[in-house]
Amino acid sequence: MSLSARAMGMALIVLSLAACQEDGRHGGLAAERQKPIRRTDHFQSLTVTGNTVVAVGSFGVVASSTDGGNTWKRTELADGAALVRVARCGDAGLVALDFTGKVWRAPADASAWTASPLPPTDAVLDATCTADNRIWVTGARGLLLVSDDNGKSWASKSLDEDIQLLNIQFPTASFGVVAGEFGRVLTTHDGGASWSQGGSLGEDFYPQAMHFETDKRGLVVGLSGAVQETRDGGVSWTRAKTPIEAPLYGVLALPGDEAVVVGAAGSAARLVGGVWSPVTGLPMTDLRGIAATSGGVMLAGTGALLPLPLAKTN
């Protein structure tokens, strides 16, 4: 066989292998696109309304399940919405915060979503919905907005300060809490008509997630496994350390003085009897969303929506 013929033969083999690899890649991509939960999904938040679990994430992805997470339905909102938070309203409907400056509303089954623009602002960071269906949004430069009409109009309760208000929750219709950078805590006892300073978390504490079980007990998590707990509605805080060195991105306060925290690279820990213990066996993915379900706890992270059954304690 001549040298040119051999070269031609090798070229044909290389082209054939390349074609097979390309077909494999396309086949893999096609198979991945058929999945309701994909490895490229970046889920940021989840909530439970009735028997429906709803998770939201980047690029407008919404996943919902009515069977405890055994199966999921996928929806992708228009314009690649950057969804960073989802919360349940008192009417069992849903509200989701879009980092591009919108809020989305949907019924409890997450079947149809409608967007409303927020007033122009630097950045929106968190949102919640109250038992009386008021939507609250926090953000940069002391942003604190409220809507009484499903996002059609907004009133400002913003601070005149260069501060990020990072977390907001209303455990009841009247009592609400905001946590911000530099350890700032704000509380209201009149449904947000007025806000006052709560106890400081400390200027060195950056609150990355917050959850109140009641209007008295709540937890806030931060960097390097740090956690703070209040038992008097944010008047005072007790600092603790979980057995985690990674940043914590999610927290769930549970009855019986229990709690679960989650964070980077599959990190998680559980509080029982005043002692924090690591939760092992989770995938090495950043876990950000956490919510209580009838069967335990559901977690949301990069490419993952998974249940975390909690063994009963004595």
113-142 tens-digit pLDDT: 999 999 999 999 999 999 999 999 999 999
Nearest to 167 by CA among 130, 209, 202: 209
Helix, strand and coil in the chain, % to nearest 5: 15, 45, 45
- Whole-number pLDDT of residue 33: 72
30 versus 2: which is more confidently predicted?
30
Whether 212 shows a pLDDT value over 70: the answer reads yes
| Domain residue limits, the chain | 1-34, 40-308
Strand pairing class (102-106; 94-98): antiparallel
Whether 109 shows a pLDDT value over 60: the answer reads yes
Q: How confident is the model at residue 7 (pLDDT cuts 50, 70, 90)?
A: very low
Non-local (6+) Cβ contacts of 311 within 8 A are: none
Residues 250-262, mean pLDDT to the nearest whole number: 97
- Whole-number pLDDT of residue 13: 41
Whether 29 shows a pLDDT value over 90: the answer reads no
Q: In Å, how far are 30, 67, 162 from 38, measured between CA atoms?
A: 11, 19, 38
- Whole-number pLDDT of residue 83: 98
Which residues are bridge partners to 296 per DSSP?
Answer: 293
> In percent, how much of the chain has pLDDT > 90?
84
pLDDT tens readout for residues 12-22: 344 444 444 55
Residues 204-219, mean pLDDT to the nearest whole number: 97
Q: pTM of the prediction?
A: 0.89
Name the average pLDDT for the chain: 91
Say how far apart CA 244 and CA 125 lie, in whole Å. Answer: 25
- Whole-number pLDDT of residue 30: 72
Whether 4 shows a pLDDT value over 60: the answer reads no
Q: How confident is the model at residue 27 (pLDDT cuts 50, 70, 90)?
A: low
Report helix, strand or coil for 18. helix
Q: How confident is the model at residue 310 (pLDDT cuts 50, 70, 90)?
A: confident
Say how far apart CA 66 and CA 73 lie, in whole Å. Answer: 9
Q: What is the DSSP letter of 42?
A: B
CATH superfamily of 40-308: YVTN repeat-like/Quinoprotein amine dehydrogenase (2.130.10.10)
- Whole-number pLDDT of residue 21: 54
CB atoms within 10 A of CB 235: 12
Say how far apart CA 184 and CA 163 lie, in whole Å. Answer: 9
- Whole-number pLDDT of residue 5: 44
